[in-house]
Every structure is written in C-alpha cells, then in structure tokens.
Amino acid sequence: MNARDIRLAKSRLRYPVLGDLEEAARRRLPYYVYDYLQGGTGEELSRRRNIEALRGIEIVPRYGVDISSASMSASLFGQTFNAPMAIGPIGMDGAIWPNASSHLAEAAREAGIGYMMSSMSAGSIENAAAIAGENFWFQLYTFAGNDHAVSFDLIRRARDADARMLTVTLDIPGAGRRVRDMRNGLSVPLRVSPKMALGTLLRPAWLAGLARNGLPRFANFAPYCREGASKAEIDAFVSKGRPGGGATWEMVARFRDAWPGAMTVKGILHPADAEKAVSLGLDGVIVSNHGGRQFDPSPATIDVLPAIRAAVGKKSTILFDSGIMSGLDMVKALACGADGVMVGRAFMLGLAALGADGARHVCATLMEEFRIALVQTGACTVSGAKGLAVRHRGAWVDDDFKAGGAGQKNYE
C-alpha cells in the first residue's frame, strides 16, 4: 500500500459514515465557511425535510438470491459508470476548500463516476474537463443579459471541452434568503469583518490552502471581464448578471438547439415541469430542491420523485439530488424511481475534513455502502434496486399537486 492508501484506510476506520465528517469539517473550516456549506434557506426546514424523508423510507429485502453476479454498474446518458452516482455541482467550491474542483474531478475520474461542475465553481470548465475526461458534465447558470450571450458562450466552452451532459438549473429565479450567511455578513463581494478575520486565523489548514492557491474567484466568468481583471471585478460582473434568474422554458428550448449532446434541467419538483422538459426533447431531469437552499416550504425531494417518474415514464433519465449521505440513501432513491443520484454536500464535507483525500474517501464510502445494500436487499444490480418493495409514507400523490389542494389536475 502506498501512503495515500494507508491514509484512506485510516479514514475509513475513523469516519465510517459520512455524517462523522461534519464535526471534523467544522473544526477545520472558518465558521462562516462551514455555515455556507451546511446552511439552507429560511428556517432550514426543507434541508432537514430532505434528510428525515430519506430516513423514513422502508425497503423489504428479498432472500435466497444468487448474489455472485452483483454489480453496481450503471448506464446514464449513454455512458457506463461504476456506480449510478455523480458528484453534484457546488457553487464557489474553492471557498469551501482550496482547489476543490480539481480534487473532485480527479476523484470522479478515478472512481468511474460523473462529475458535474457548476458555472459558479472556483475552477474553470477547461481545467476540470481536462482532469475528469469523459466523466465531465456541466451545470449552466444562465445570464440573461445581451440575449444570453454569456449563457451561450458557456455552452460553447462546455461543448469544446467535450462535456458529456449539460444541465440547465431552473430553481434559482431569485437569490435564496440564507439566514446563516446573512448573520455572518457573507456577501458578494466579500467584506471581511474583524470577527471573520479572527475566525480565519483560527483555521490554519484552510488558510494555508488559500495561501497556496490564492483567493477563490468565479473562474468561469473571467473571460467576460477585461484581461487581468481582479477578483472584485469578476465578483461585480457576476453580481450584476443575476446568474440563474433568466432561465425560462423558452430559453431551455434555445439551449437545446445549441447543445448536441445529452441535456437535462435541474431543480424539478413538479410532474408538469418534468413533462415539459421531456416535450422539449431533453434526455431527462434532475429532481432537486437545491439541497434546501432556495425555497424553504419545498417538499423533500424524495417525496415527489415517484410522481415525477410516473409522469415521464421509463424512457427519460431521472437523477435524484438533495440529501444523499449514504449508499442506503442511493438504494432508496433508485427504489423510488431514480436512475442515479447526485451528491454534493457530502463531497465538500470530505474535502473540508480530510483535504485532497476527502473526495476519494466519500467515493469509497458511498460505493461500499451501496454495494452492501444491493446484496443485503437481494437487488444485486441497479435494475434490481428499481424493483424493490418500498413503503414510502411521505410520497406525494396526484391530489397533492392540484392547485390549492383542489380542482383539476394541473399537470395533465
């Protein structure tokens, strides 16, 4: 075993479940960065709802099954992965842990899973794609100005970088009201208070990483500012551009025409929106409530998943996002209608707790738990997991989607 393998083996013993990483991450991150990572919007009800709903799902295992051919392999958007999982997009990931996008892209390539980079990452499309290779996906935050000139150029760059899937994020029509960030004075551009400065000095590992890699910036938008633009200038450009606020179905249709490959939309919670996406020729949808970071009354993502699967049928690919913290959660998502899952927050907790090895630790933990769960349930494969018997008390039904709770179904 090399030194890295030894470190990872020790991490598996010290942090056997991903929830164990939370306290380690809190000790290594400045308080305002930890709150940015872990926080939701409003009272954080939707954030907690995601977790509680997943925990409440029951699955009946089947026994007497030949497990010798058990396999985690999955096909998503014409690609074969070692597990039905992708690292989800994280905005300003480099502020949570320096050089995060490179670490995530490398971990995804090594593990044989997808990596979806956020437009709002601190890394660039070109660099992440070079590392992740054919596992690279891209998440577009639209910029409505100048008839979406920046949006279309980001699409061009993702195409030139050979991204295998593009998703357009819909669930950010306006900025979420993230109370933790407000209390901490976190904003764009960042204005460092004395309290924040002290909090930073108390976290030497994070500060050392910052010193090595420089202040994080929205790297994907540097080309749209003057050559040599400062971080403050790029921040100002992003703030003025209102990222995400200009996404409409009309624009999604135009993006579909500009993108030759697999394409989805992210942030779907209503069956009617999923059907609309399919009608525009998209290859699937990502069912997500933005990890509880946008709209606090939103339902737990898992609770609307079955209705969305019923609405779009079996031909469209559905990825599940928001709340995945274990391989068991992955099986639950598949059993409730997903074809694969996206995991974001857990990977950032891994980087914060363990540095560059953290993303590998999270990959290894999720894949080991997922493999064991496939065997324990008798599902053995991704296809088998989709056929498991599930008791899902919180699942939304047709009547729940009626306007005002009564009247005609508004997603027929």
- With 0-12 / 13-18 / 19 or more C-beta atoms within 10 angstroms meaning exposed / middle / buried, residue 94 is buried
For residue 290, indicate whether it is catalytic.
yes
Catalytic pick among 103, 270, 290, 392: 290
Identity at 295, one-letter amino acid code: F
Cβ-contact 380, 374 below 8 angstroms: yes
Cα–Cα nearest to 134, from 107, 156, 161:
161
How far apart CA 308 and CA 302 sit, in angstroms, is 10
H/E/C letters for each residue in 226-287?
A: CCCCCHHHHHHHHHHHCCCCCCCHHHHHHHHHHCCCEEEEEEECCHHHHHHHHHCCCCEEEE
Round to whole Å and give the CA distance between 93 and 157.
20
Taking the C-alpha atoms of residue 301 and residue 268, their distance in angstroms, rounded to an integer, is 9
3-state helix vs strand vs coil in the chain, percent to 5: 50, 10, 35
Structure tokens at 32: 């305002």
Say which amino acid occupies 233: E
Catalytic machinery residues = 290
